[in-house]
Amino acid sequence: MWSFELLIIVTAVFLLAGFVKGAIGLGLPTVSLALLTATVGVREAVALMLVPSLVTNVWQAVSGGAFAVIFRRLWPLLAAAGLGIWFGTGFSAAARPEQLSGVLGVLLVVYAAFALLTRPIPAPGRWEVLASPAVGAVNGVLTGLTGSFVMPGVPYLQALGLPRDMLIQAMGLLFSVSTIVLGLALARHGLWTADIGGLSVAALAPAFAGLALGQRLRRHMAEAAFRRMFLCGLLLLGAYISVRAFL
């Protein structure tokens, strides 16, 4: 049964995560996963963020007129990611929670530092046919282990040189496929229960409330500055999760 403390934590986390996504167009799964890992544990965090992540990312994936074009180009990446998630979740079920938290913390630090400090990776060019399944497999295994969808998939999609709207739709497609496979894999290993599922569904309300608030305030914000603040906060949170897990 849900405790009052857990309800307050989940409401606050998804309100903030939705606000970040509304303000800069990304970050709901990453913010919710990081904050929930720091408060209730990594396995619970992964399960709780599934429904809000799926709903928001499916909407992102189908919004726009390039779904078929993107799917034809990215299906090797998506297929490999799905297989990687299936195997990665098996490793996750056998690992200790502090090990998973440590890996997640490192991934968050790497992602935030990469976004803040480095230039985009080079386009794969004629190697895309080999690079896409390789990147998808690595992304999938790390997703299965930690619930984080971002590395190395997001930098790779950015390197493909897609127009902005297509890039956003492509990320939504990768995240949607990853969320569906992750949910099935968690259920297979008994890590997705009716109790957790109900709370994940309930998290939709604060997530969409935060999303609406972020979108409303977006026009009054300097988006680039807010994005840097978000990445700096994610960097510090990832470092905190890593240090706490490894020590």
pLDDT tens string, the chain, 247 residues long: the values are: 578 888 999 999 999 988 888 777 677 888 899 889 888 888 889 999 999 989 888 887 887 788 999 999 999 999 999 999 999 999 888 888 888 899 999 999 998 998 888 777 888 889 999 999 999 999 999 999 998 888 999 899 989 988 878 888 898 899 999 999 999 999 988 888 888 889 999 999 999 999 888 878 777 777 677 778 888 888 888 899 999 888 7
Buried b (16+ CB within 10 A) or exposed e, 133-160: bbbbbbbbbbbbbbbbbbbbbbbbbbbb
Tokens found for residue 152: 């190395």
Q: Where are the domains of the chain?
A: 4-246
This prediction has a pTM of 0.88
Q: List the one residue out of 176, 133, 179, 181 whose CA is nearest residue 156.
A: 133
**Which amino acid is residue 116, in one-letter code?**
L
Contacting residues for 193 by C-beta, under 8 A, at least 6 apart: 47
